[in-house]
Amino acid sequence: MRIVPNLDLNFDFCWIKRGFSAMVKIPSRWHPEKKTDDEADKSDEKPDTKDDVIGRKRNIMYFHNENVAAFHYGPHHPMKPFRLAVTHSLILHYNLQHYFTMVEPPPATYEEIIAFHDTDYIEELMAGKWRVVPDEDAVDGTADDVPLFDGVYDYCTYYTGSTIQAAKALNCKWADIVINWSGGLHHAKKAQASGFCYVNDIVIGILELLKHNQRVLYIDIDIHHGDGVQDAFYFTSRVMTASFHHYHEKFFPGTGIVKEKGRSDGKHYSLNFPLREGITDESYAYVFKPIVRSLVKFYDPNVIVLQCGADSLGSDKLGKFNLSFNGHGECIRFVKSLNRPLMILGGGGYRLRNVARCWTNETAIIVGQDDVISDIIPEIDPYRKCFAPEHYKLRPELPHRFRDANTREFLDYLIGVAEERMRKIEHAPSVQMQPLGLIEETLIEFMRRTTKERRLAEELKAQEALLLKKPDIVNEYK
């Protein structure tokens, strides 16, 4: 089925920056060129050549609202929104903005946020006061994880606004790949803050995508289980969630075992790959690539959303993996090579300088410049001092702090789980979805029909009136 591009966009306050110089205001309504069916079919082909992976130019949009970096969770809290300012600066000083369209999106509105969240909960967030203290029993999770700092609601509107506009850009086919490093807050629940997350921008973004796409594949490579996204779509086959995370009963959030697989219509559409500590680049690629390839083949998503939490890097303050910048980036490169519309989001990441390195390197991978840019942080970057401990390198080696407990047998078992699950699901499940074009055609047809019927009725009425006036004619027809 062909999905008609979104015509109901709200880009009123949305500014596009092309490179560094020109800024263009996007019109509040715009009419993208509709692709022909042939073009739509071609865009679904999945060539996996080197050119496609790093060379071919795809239309990329980068969403960043600089206000998001100005908030503070508190002096001892590991989550530092400031990391987004350092990341953005590094991306600009590597001149990567010449390869994408930069968008400064508006904050999310209250109505957009309650598309998923409970209104009472959001009002608590706006008032800065919890009615019920967040789950004290969660593994490693306490109310201290989600402090109500000054402007917490505004903070949420900035990162969520970027994700929503990114989804709209994919819906209307303005972009093939969209990036929002401030998004990816995957733990927030419908009526509960959790794990440094208050508003789940991913769920809201996917809901936006579902207005114009049959199937969305959500992949999560944060070290923590993507529980908030999984819970939101646990009962539907329209979103497949696949989370690659560290699992231990005492590791936050303490969920994400293989047996959590979805329910009702969503049975088998939630996949969990609970990895053991210390996983290396080689082991990660060994398990990630065949599984993701298989999911894309069988589920045939219209869009992929990739949460790129940087806490799965080695030496993260809260993490327990041994991934290098190249190993983490390889997941992004691989998903990009599958050639589907793609939304790239941030997530966790608690060693500030490594978060900036990771997402800058991955931006370079997305725009095909990772082989070109220097491995030395540009001297003009005002935050350069942050990178001093590792000799100002973009991709320094990271220490292996944990022994890799993921045996080959264990990884094969996880691959087998995915294969078995794919055998149980319907290939490319589809739902009865009324594309906008069809609605319009139906309306036109309805109006045409009613007009015709009205005209007929009027003619009949006129004939009746005529017959009443001429009783002898009436008699002729009796």
CB of 348 to Zn ion, least distance (A): 3
Q: Judged by CB, which is closer to Zn ion: 194, or 337? A: 194
Q: Which residue is nearest to Zn ion (CB)?
A: 348
Binding site for Zn ion (CB under 5 A): 222, 224, 309, 311, 348
Q: What's the number of CA atoms in the CB half-sphere (13 Å) around residue 266?
A: 20
Integer angstrom CA distances of residue 399 from 292, 322, 328, 348, 390: 27, 7, 15, 19, 11
3-state DSSP assignment of residue 115: coil
Q: State both tokens at 330.
A: 């390889």
Q: Which of residues 228 and 309 has its CB atom nearest to Zn ion in the complex? A: 309
Tell me whether residue 381 is annotated as binding: no
Query: Could you tell me the smallest distance in angstroms from the CB atom of residue 224 to Zn ion?
Result: 4
| Marked catalytic residue, from 88, 93, 187, 328 | 187
Q: Helices 325-337 and 352-366 meet at what angle, rounded to 10?
A: 30
For residue 187, the minimal CB distance to Zn ion (Å) is 8
Tell me whether residue 102 or residue 279 sits nearer to Zn ion (CB atom). 279
Identify the CA nearest to 394 among candidates 96, 21, 60, 98: 96
Which pairing describes strands 177-180 and 60-63: parallel, antiparallel, or unpaired?
parallel
**How is residue 283 written in tokens?**
């082991």
Supply the minimum distance, in Å, between the C-beta of residue 320 and Zn ion.
11
In angstroms, the CA 372 to CA 474 distance is 91
Q: Cα separation of 155 and 158, whole Å?
A: 5
Q: Which is nearer to Zn ion, 90 or 313 (CB)?
A: 313
* 186 among annotated binding-site residues: no
Q: Provide the 3-class DSSP secondary structure of residue 189.
A: strand
Are the CB atoms for 384 and 378 separated by under 8 Å?
yes
Please say which residue, 311 or 370, places its beta carbon nearer to Zn ion: 311
Q: Check the annotation: does 224 bind a ligand.
A: yes
Annotated catalytic residue 187: yes
CB atoms within 10 A of CB 141: 20
Residue 350 is assigned to a ligand binding site: yes
Q: What is the smallest separation between the CB atom of 310 and Zn ion, expressed in angstroms?
A: 9
User: Residues with catalytic annotation?
Assistant: 187
Question: From the annotation, which residues make up the binding site for substrate?
Answer: 145, 195, 350
